[in-house]
Amino acid sequence: MRRILLALFTLFLTVTAAAHSHAGPPSIYQVSTLAALKEGVYDGRTTFRELKEHGDLGIGTLNGLDGEMIAVDGEFFQIKVDGKAYPIPDAAKTPFAVVTFLRPELQRLLRNLSTLLSLQEHLDGLPLPGDKLWVVRIQGSFEYLKVRSVDRQNKPYPRLEEALKNQAVFELNGVRGTLVGFRFPSYMDGVNMAGYHFHFISQDRKQGGHVLECNLEEAEARLACLSALNLRLIDVDGPGGPKQE
């Protein structure tokens, strides 16, 4: 228990210049927590203009749980409930997002991984420590992808579990594009999703979503281990929910 608390202290409270630049140890910048999102806290004050200062690669959502967010090469996209990708204006806000500046420690060519589980198991076999945070970027060709998005929610906001019952699911075949994801260790469940969490965007930047399943033909994976998490807690009006703006 003491080791877990020490690890959490190091990951949660380390605040470095890397939050604002490429200098310093590799780190993640996260807005709010998955636990808050699960409770229906869908309105944040962080703009995407601010978010871009902390990373050019990442995933998340927009206020109101309005679709899936993916950032690649400093471009931020919203995957709406129609499955299409739209550029996100700087003034838009997020209640939950995870971004970083990727400095790869490992690069691997991946071939013929027919399920999301087989992809995850293959990544787990790479020489990166399992008790640390990883960022993963996978770019290449996919025979098949099943992805989802969620429509903007109305107040009073439902819990995430209820909102996901009405998710829109899309199937993509023979598509090139990029998976962006993070792997959080089990002791950080609630801060974020324990295990892997991937979003996808096509090479033409026209479609994507939260990845539910995939069949990877050939792709290049770039991975890095991240040593710090800079966590911005969401503003709330007390125990019941987010501030109204």
In a domain, 157, yes or no: yes
- pTM exceeds 0.85 for this model: yes
Domain count, the chain: 1
Tell me: pLDDT of 15 over 60.
no
Residues 199-224, mean pLDDT to the nearest whole number: 98
Q: Is 238 part of a structural domain of the chain?
A: no
| Structure confidence at residue 227 as a pLDDT band (50, 70, 90) | confident
Asked if residue 71 has pLDDT above 80, the reply is yes
Does the structure show a pLDDT above 60 at 7? no
For 67-83, letters b (16+ CB in 10 Å) and e give: bbbbbbeeebbbbbbeb
Nearest to 163 by CA among 70, 41, 60: 41
Average pLDDT, the chain: 89
| H or E element in which residue 116 lies | helix 116-124
Any domain includes 244: no
CA distance 186 to 140: 29
Rounded to 5 degrees, φ, ψ at 143 are: -70, -35
pLDDT at residue 9, rounded to an integer:
42
Residue with tokens 């993070």, as numbered in its chain: 182
Q: Residue 151: what are its φ and ψ, rounded to 5°?
A: -75, 155
Query: Residue 229 has what pLDDT?
Result: 94
Structure tokens at 188: 């950080």
Does residue 95 sit within a domain? yes
Residues 78, 11: Cα–Cα separation, whole Å: 28
Compute the distance between CA of residue 67 and CA of residue 28 in angstroms, rounded to an integer: 22
Q: Residue 220: give its domain's CATH number.
A: 3.30.1330.80
- Host H or E run for residue 232: strand 228-232
> Which of 127 and 97 is assigned the larger pLDDT?
97
User: Could you list the residue range(s) of the whole structural domain that residue 173 is in?
Assistant: 1-14+24-233
Interior/surface letters 121-136, b for 16+ CB within 10 angstroms, e for the rest: eebeeeebeeeebbbb
- Phi, psi of 196, rounded to the nearest 5 degrees: -90, 145
Integer Cα distance of 96 and 61 in angstroms: 6
- In this structure, what token pair is assigned to residue 132? 């640390």
Burial class (CB in 10 A: 0-12, 13-18, 19+), 1: exposed
Q: How confident is the model at residue 176 (pLDDT cuts 50, 70, 90)?
A: very high
* Torsion-angle region of 79 (φ positive above 0: left; ψ -120 to 50: alpha; else: beta): beta
Is residue 241 in a domain? no
* 19 belongs to a structural domain: no
For the chain, percent of residues with pLDDT exceeding 90: 82
Position 154 pLDDT exceeds 60: yes
pLDDT of res. 24: 63
Query: What is the per-residue pLDDT across 177-202, written as a single tens digit (0 to 9) for each?
Result: 999 999 999 999 999 999 999 999 99
Report the pLDDT value the prediction gives residue 128, as an integer from 0 to 100.
87
* pLDDT score of 8: 44
